[in-house]
């Protein structure tokens, strides 16, 4: 039922009403052959201080890949939206792609990268193919906001932990 509102204020009464006491449901996710989560000694290094694996398609200038516009993470999305529009509150739209467990037993879930995302461009630039995290000897790529994905190694990128520099879309080994 559609009701035109010629001269009225916005009706969001349901959204601004006091929060009812309900038990929150765990989001259900589709899982794809997630193996046993891999244990990695140091999953997240801060800053970019390792060996840079130069992006073969990189322009060198900051944000060249985004038409010169700086990219900033959107807080309610996994990886800030770098890997796709996967909102934490609705991860049913995303496909679970394994997970990583760090030395402190923190579990980092991984999801399939959306084809049109900045993360997909990283994979394409380096010729990497995403695979579920879990098995050993994978390329483990840490993105914004403690997000992680995994890929098979290739001639350009050896197995190990890498962090993405979002400004240049380069991988920095940890």
Nearer to another protein, 12 or 155 (CB): 12
Contact 38, 133 (CB under 8 A): yes
**CA torsion angle for 28, 29, 34, 38 (degrees, to 10)?**
-80
The CB-of-153 to another protein minimum distance in angstroms stands at 27
Rounded Cα distance, 120 and 136, in Å: 22
Q: Which is nearer to another protein, 117 or 173 (CB)?
A: 117
**What is the smallest separation between the CB atom of 147 and another protein, expressed in angstroms?**
12
Task: Give min distance, CB of 13 to another protein, in A.
Answer: 8
- Nearer Cβ to another protein, position 41 or 60? 60
Instruction: Report the C-alpha dihedral over residues 154, 157, 160, 161, rounded to 10 degrees.
Output: -130
Chain residues binding another protein by CB under 8 A are 1-12, 14-17, 61, 63-64, 66-77, 80-82, 85, 87, 89-90, 93, 116-118
Strands (E), 21-127: 30-31, 38-40, 52-53, 95-102, 107-111
Distance in Å, CB of 97 to another protein, minimum: 19
């Amino acid at each position: 039922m559609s009701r035109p509102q010629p001269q009225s204020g916005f009706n969001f009464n349901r959204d601004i009403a006091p929060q009812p006491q309900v038990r929150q449901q765990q989001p259900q996710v589709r899982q794809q052959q997630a193996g046993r989560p891999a244990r990695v000694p140091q999953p997240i290094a801060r800053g970019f201080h390792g060996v840079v694996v130069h992006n073969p398609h990189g322009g060198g200038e900051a944000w060249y890949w985004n038409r010169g516009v700086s990219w900033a993470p959107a807080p309610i999305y996994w990886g800030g939206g770098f890997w796709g529009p996967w909102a934490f509150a609705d991860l049913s739209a995303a496909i679970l792609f394994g997970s990583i467990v760090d030395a402190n037993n923190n579990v980092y879930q991984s999801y399939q990268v959306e084809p049109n995302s900045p993360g997909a461009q990283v994979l394409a630039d380096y010729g990497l193919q995403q695979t579920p995290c879990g098995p050993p000897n994978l390329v483990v790529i840490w993105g914004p906001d403690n997000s992680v994905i995994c890929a098979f190694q290739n001639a350009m990128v050896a197995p190990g932990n890498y962090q993405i520099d979002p400004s240049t879309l380069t991988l920095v080994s940890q």
